[in-house]
Chain A
Amino acid sequence: KQEVTQIPAALSVPEGENLVLNCSFTDSAIYNLQWFRQDPGKGLTSLLLIQSSQREQTSGRLNASLDKSSGRSTLYIAASQPGDSATYLCAVIMTGNQFYFGTGTSLTVIP
């Protein structure tokens, strides 16, 4: 069974710092991988979807990379802002629409 791990569980950085969030998975036969953001008391908002044939995707200050062979994905956030404070979750997608979620990294950006 696919297991998805996100370390660290919590991260606190000063405003303006570049940072990397990690996502690792045990079964490399994934279909896609998706990164989400969740604000307190809200639903999950999709940030980036990486197809298994891609190595990275970019949206604004966000860049997600995927290395299937090593079972890892990273989400890079450039020039962090207090508004980036949220919980970030990755979801590994297997064939047949099976989504496996990590437990998330809670990010706090300090002004």
Chain B
Amino acid sequence: DAGVIQSPRHEVTEMGQEVTLRCKPISGHNSLFWYRQTMMRGLELLIYFNNNVPIDDSGMPEDRFSAKMPNASFSTLKIQPSEPRDSAVYFCASTSGGSGANVLTFGAGSRLTVL
């Protein structure tokens, strides 16, 4: 298995531009998470999907952030318009089941820099 695949690995953009981050979870995993990691705040949960349905989006900072999971093998996190404070590493993670009984597997992350 190729693991959780994220793209792009690095993104540098200017304030006000739209950013789209992509994630392919491990085949057979039905739970998907988007996290953001910064030095100041550590790892923060943005949104959690189970069976392609958003279950918890309370961590999404504001309306500028949106996430979709159109099918079991693909998810996107979009920021529009982007701001310098959105600079962070964004991780996607997946697991099977909806109860936390199984290992959570992370992707390599997408490092976003907003100038």
Which residue numbers of A lie inside 8 Å of B, CB to CB? Answer: 31-32, 34, 36, 42-46, 49, 51, 89, 91, 93-99, 101, 103-104
Residues of A within 8 A of B43 (CB): 89, 101
Known: A94-B100, A97-B97, A97-B98. 12 other contacts (CB 8 A): A31-B99, A32-B101, A36-B106, A43-B91, A43-B107, A44-B93, A46-B103, A46-B104, A49-B103, A51-B101, A95-B100, A101-B42
Residues of A within 8 A of B42 (CB): 101, 103-104
Distance (whole angstroms) from the CB of B105 to the closest CB of chain A: 7
Identify the interface centre among A31, A93, A94, A95: most chain B CB within 10 Å of its CB.
A93
Cross-chain contact A97 with B91 (CB below 8 angstroms): no
Contacts of A91 in B (CB 8 A): 104
Interface residues, chain B, with chain A CB atoms under 8 Å away: 4, 31, 33, 42-43, 45, 48, 50, 55-56, 91, 93, 95, 97-109
Which residue of A44, A97, A99 is within 8 Å of B50 (Cβ)?
A97
Interface contact B101-A45, CB-CB below 8 Å: no
Q: Which residues of A contact B104 (CB under 8 A)?
A: 34, 46, 91, 99
Q: Identify the closest chain A residue to B9 (Cβ).
A: A41
